[in-house]
Amino acid sequence: MAPAIQAENLVKTFGDVRALDGVSLDVPEGTVLGLLGPNGAGKTTTVRVLATLLRPDSGRAVVAGVDVLKHPNKVRSLIGLSGQYAAVDEYLTGFENLQMVGELYQMSARQAKVRALELLEWFNLTEAKDRTAKTYSGGMRRRLDLAAALVVRPPVMFLDEPTTGLDPRNRLALWEVIETLVEQGTTLLLTTQYLEEADRLAHDIAVVDHGRVIARGTADQLKAQIGGERIEVVVHEPGLVADAVAALSGYALGEPAVEKNTRRITVPVSGGARVLADVIRELDARGIEIDDIGLRRPTLDDVFLTLTGHVAETVEEESGSGGRGRGGRGKGGPSAEGPPAEGPSAEGPDGSDGQGPDKQAVAAGTER
Ligand SMILES: Nc1ncnc2c1ncn2[C@@H]1O[C@H](COP(=O)(O)OP(=O)(O)O)[C@@H](O)[C@H]1O
Ligand SMILES: [Mg+2]
């Protein structure tokens, strides 16, 4: 299949920062590429270049068969981008916003209406459809924004962290929307901080770090590539975490990962249940009490950790339930994380959105 998105050796510098240091990727038509990487890795910059919003210093890109640098306007007519062209109008209702986008793209009034209602339903906004967008909470706006990007069913879509900040119910709803789009033939480049999102949606994953693609494959291939199993231990006493790490190091095939606040230690091992039994005996002999221990196959989190040296970021959800509860965060640059949720939402009768605009995930095209 011809690639619907192709980038060759993209380089982009901002002063001293080499945001893209030779990014190459290709996305076959009708498939989903998940772009994974820590904060500051160059994901958004890649999306912005491919979506014609930013000129690279060098390199080449072709989207839907059209050269991005030579014919940006043509490319723009063939792509959808989350949070970009949508430009939600505060003073229009949710329904009017979507209908307007349809009419801008020369749909008939009837077609635009049908499409708007369909999208509102998809994004759980039907009840709010007749309220002006300015009464919407952050999470609702984000969904409206995404809906607007989908009005015209573009053949190629870029979604930059589409579900960051959404609560689990809306995330699931969006995943279903994305799966439907892909079934209908849309090619998608998706950046995400949620590894389970990449695991579920992406046919192929590219791990990006320091402006380069450092690994590429399906989720299963990447997991197999890093190999081994993982032992996870939760130590009872915070003060004994370091001792437990020392005890485990004799069995570890690589660096142990330690989450201090949860007292969880993860080490790559090989040898299965026998090693697990040895570890339990060793911890017991050293008088280190544990709350939990288990053996598991590597996850995408382990892939991420092994390749980039740190765990994926914790992200606040719109319901304020505190993301996935992981302790790690990206290495540099301001993070999208805010303080813990600010309690029950003051906005939105559906009560599902507790997210202020400051916490809203960065959509493609906006600066972090
Ligand atoms: N407009 C800009 N001006 C200066 N530096 C930028 C700009 N956009 C991105 N960067 C820098 O480029 C690097 C990559 O950023 P970005 O592509 O946003 O990463 P990601 O989306 O993976 O978090 C970061 O170091 C970021 O600070
Ligand atoms: Mg980004």
Task: Please say whether the beta carbons of 202 and 33 come within 8 A.
Answer: yes
Whether 165 is in the pocket of ligand 1, judged by its Cβ within 6 Å, is no
Q: How far is CA 195 from CA 48, 81, 326, in A?
A: 22, 21, 12
The pLDDT tens digits along the chain (368 residues) read: 679 999 999 999 999 999 999 999 999 999 999 999 888 999 999 999 999 999 999 999 999 999 999 999 999 889 988 754 446 888 999 999 999 988 888 889 999 999 999 999 988 899 999 999 999 988 888 889 888 888 888 899 999 888 877 788 888 888 888 898 899 899 999 998 788 889 899 999 999 999 999 999 998 888 888 777 899 999 999 999 999 999 999 999 888 889 999 999 999 898 888 999 999 999 999 999 999 999 988 888 888 888 887 665 544 455 443 333 333 333 333 333 333 333 333 333 333 333 333 333 333 333 33
Task: Please say whether the beta carbons of 31 and 187 come within 8 A.
Answer: yes
Task: Please say whether the beta carbons of 253 and 270 come within 8 A.
Answer: yes
Of 205, 192, 209, 140, nearest in space to 364 by CA: 192
Rounded to the nearest whole angstrom, what is the distance from the C-alpha of residue 45 to the centroid of ligand 1?
6
Q: What span, in angstroms and rounded, lies between the C-alpha atoms of 56 and 208?
A: 17
Give the per-residue SS3 of 237-275.
CHHHHHHHHHHHHCCCCCCCEEECCCCEEEEEECCHHHH
Q: Give the per-residue pLDDT at 145.
A: 85
Whether 44 is in the pocket of ligand 1, judged by its Cβ within 6 Å, is yes
Shortest-distance atom of ligand 1 to CA 37: 22
Kind and range of the H or E element at 179? Answer: helix 168-183
Whether 367 is in the pocket of ligand 1, judged by its Cβ within 6 Å, is yes
Of 8, 3, 65, nearest in space to 28 by CA: 3
Shortest-distance atom of ligand 1 to CA 15: 4
Of 166, 162, 169, 132, nearest in space to 147 by CA: 162
Q: pTM of the entire structure? A: 0.73
Whether 56 is in the pocket of ligand 1, judged by its Cβ within 6 Å, is no
Give the domains, in start order, of the chain with CATH numbers: 3-223 (3.40.50.300), 228-297 (3.30.70.920)
Q: Give the per-residue pLDDT at 83.
A: 52
> Backbone phi, then psi, for 232, in 5-degree steps?
-115, 125
Cα dihedral 361, 364, 367, 368 sign? positive
Task: Please say whether the beta carbons of 192 and 163 come within 8 A.
Answer: yes
Whether 39 is in the pocket of ligand 1, judged by its Cβ within 6 Å, is yes
Rounded to the nearest whole angstrom, what is the distance from the C-alpha of residue 131 to the centroid of ligand 1?
35
